Amino acid sequence: MPKPPIQRRRGRHSAKPQGPSLPKDPMEVTIFGIGTKGDGMGKDDTGHGYYVPYSAEGDVLKVRITGKRENDYVGEISEIITPSEHRIEAPCPHYTKCGGCNLQHIDPETYAQWKSHKVADILKRSQISINLDKPVLVGPNCRRRASFAVMKKGKKIIFGFNAKGSHRIEEIDHCLLLTDPLNALISALRDLMPLIMKREGRGDIIVNYPGEAADIVLALPGPMELKAHQHLVTFAEKHNIGRLSWQQDGKGTPETIIQRCAVTTQFGDALVELPTSPFLQPSKEGEVALVDFALSALRNEKKILDLYAGCGSFTFALAKVGIVHAVESHAPALKALELSAGRAGLGGRITTEVRDLDRQPLMGKELSKFDAILFDPPRAGAREQARFLAESNIPVIIAISCNPATFGRDAVALIEGGYTLERVMPVDQFTWSDHVEVAAIFRKAPK
Ligand SMILES: C[S@@+](CC[C@H](N)C(=O)[O-])C[C@H]1O[C@@H](n2cnc3c(N)ncnc32)[C@H](O)[C@@H]1O
């Protein structure tokens, strides 16, 4: 029988104990499903509801109650009485201690179904019913970005990943989700910390490895000390770091300390020189799947609008179909896109515009110039912009979203505006977590 997950200490954000009203003895709970946040949902024999992290459908458990979520109890597994048939041994030794993953203990088939069910459930809440495409599962060993946590207390430094809902840091040497070049940096970064982290406190080390060279932001307490510079130069040389930046106390714009070479990524034929901390799709595999999906919606549209374009993950691919206007609020990202378009000889096919689409969405006549639109907003979605897209008569709209809930809201606006939702494809770039992305196609018949 698999071992019960290791119990974590209660952290700052976990459910608060409710005092004497909470039963003290562990309760027997049967898990009947997994909720949208990845916690098992169960019932005891009185019918009371439970949320139990790290449980699986069909588990019979002894659950120690730690708090309440609305009318239901939240609990921790104290014993697995009968394991679910969907339970497997989690592949990572840090599982349940590190906060990164919460669905490693479920067999791959059930896991994949759950990702699709999560999207379907959220869409159903918005009264949207559609047969979803088969999900794209990017899998482990693909993530090209990581945010490590570091803490110095006295002389002791701990480097790893934050535990879930807690100040604790789980020390790790290897993460199954990361690409090999990123994993190879972990022990080197740990060894670097005592040489450069002189003040007590906490920090984050954000590493992007989008192409040939890594880009690292050291968000650490206090200013960089002069002595740290030579250590950083040696570190950058030895480990092929393209750029190293220091962000004092994790606030403000990171200051570039060392730039050995350009930090680049390839979008189609264009090599894009990236600014510090750019948005990129978390994996190349996910990026390719999303781009292929977007292209599958297009025929030979002449004018295409790429909203929330970032550094151009979609722009360069769309420019093979038509002339693209890329709009984005982060000026350095758009500058990188524009320069790369020029170098790739695409200056005539790609135009750019820095614009805040919440405050100043494209509307009416501006939209009517385009034959197709792709929009890929942040987690909050594109509420304002979607209202105007809904009113437009653009024949095809492609939506990419990292948040099915805000996608559902924006999709309703488009459907109420006369669009038909043709396809929705779940994309799992956040393997073993409860996150899932979606890509969708909407069409409107010409008037
Ligand atoms: C999910 S990312 C997508 C970026 C790009 N499409 C990609 O796949 O790499 C969302 C982008 O929206 C931009 N953004 C956020 N809020 C915005 C706003 N109000 N107006 C315009 N762009 C915004 C962010 O800077 C970011 O580049």
Render pLDDT for 91-109 as a digit per residue (tens, 0 to 9): 999 999 999 999 999 999 9
Angstrom distance (rounded) from CA 331 to CA 234: 32
pLDDT score for 18: 47
Q: Do domains 19-87 and 145-264 have the same CATH topology?
A: yes
Q: Domain spans of the chain?
A: 19-87, 113-139+280-443, 145-264
Of the chain, the percentage scoring pLDDT greater than 70 comes to: 96
Is it the case that residue 327 has pLDDT exceeding 90?
A: yes
313 lines ligand 1 (CB under 6 A): yes
287 lines ligand 1 (CB under 6 A): no
pLDDT score for 14: 45
Q: String of b and e for 256-286 (b: at least 16 CB within 10 Å)?
A: ebbeeeebbbebbebebbbbbbbbbbbbbbb
pLDDT score for 4: 47
Cα 140 to middle of ligand 1, angstroms: 25
Among 16-30, 191-205, 401-415, name the one with the lowest average pLDDT.
16-30
Contact 127, 412 (CB under 8 A): yes
pLDDT score for 13: 42
| Band of pLDDT at residue 142, cut at 50, 70 and 90 | very high
310 lines ligand 1 (CB under 6 A): yes
pLDDT score for 17: 47
Cα 378 to middle of ligand 1, angstroms: 6
The CATH number of 145-264 is 2.40.50.1070
Is it the case that residue 3 has pLDDT exceeding 50?
A: no
| Band of pLDDT at residue 1, cut at 50, 70 and 90 | very low
Contact 122, 410 (CB under 8 A): no
DSSP secondary structure letters along 136-199: EE--SS-B-EEEEEEEEETTEEEEEEEPTTSS-EEE-S--TTB-HHHHHHHHHHHHHHHHH--S
| Band of pLDDT at residue 219, cut at 50, 70 and 90 | very high
pLDDT score for 144: 97
pLDDT score for 347: 86
- What CATH architecture applies to the domain 19-87? Beta Barrel (2.40)
pLDDT score for 20: 54
Nearest protein Cα to ligand 1, atom 11: 308
Cα 373 to middle of ligand 1, angstroms: 14
Nearest residue to 104 via CA among 430, 402, 405, 403: 430
Per-residue CA distances from 26 to 58, 62, 362 (Å) = 18, 6, 56
| Band of pLDDT at residue 277, cut at 50, 70 and 90 | confident
pLDDT score for 21: 78
Binding positions are 281, 308, 328, 376
Cα 386 to middle of ligand 1, angstroms: 14
Q: What is the mean pLDDT of residues 125-142?
A: 97
**DSSP run (H or E) holding 237:** helix 226-238
Which residues participate in catalysis according to the annotation?
A: 402
Phi, psi dihedrals of residue 184, rounded to the nearest 5°: -65, -20
CATH topology of domain 113-139+280-443: Rossmann fold (3.40.50)
Of the chain, the percentage scoring pLDDT greater than 90 comes to: 92
Render pLDDT for 373-429 as a digit per residue (tens, 0 to 9): 999 999 999 999 999 999 999 999 999 999 999 999 999 999 999 999 999 999 999
Render pLDDT for 111-127 as a digit per residue (tens, 0 to 9): 999 999 999 999 999 99
Residue 184, classified by CB atoms within 10 Å of its CB into exposed (0-12), middle (13-18) or buried (19+), is middle
Q: Which of 308, 325, 353, 379 to mutate to test the pocket of ligand 1 (most atoms within 8 A of CB)?
A: 308
Atom of ligand 1 at shortest range from CA of 402: 1
How many residues appear in the chain?
447
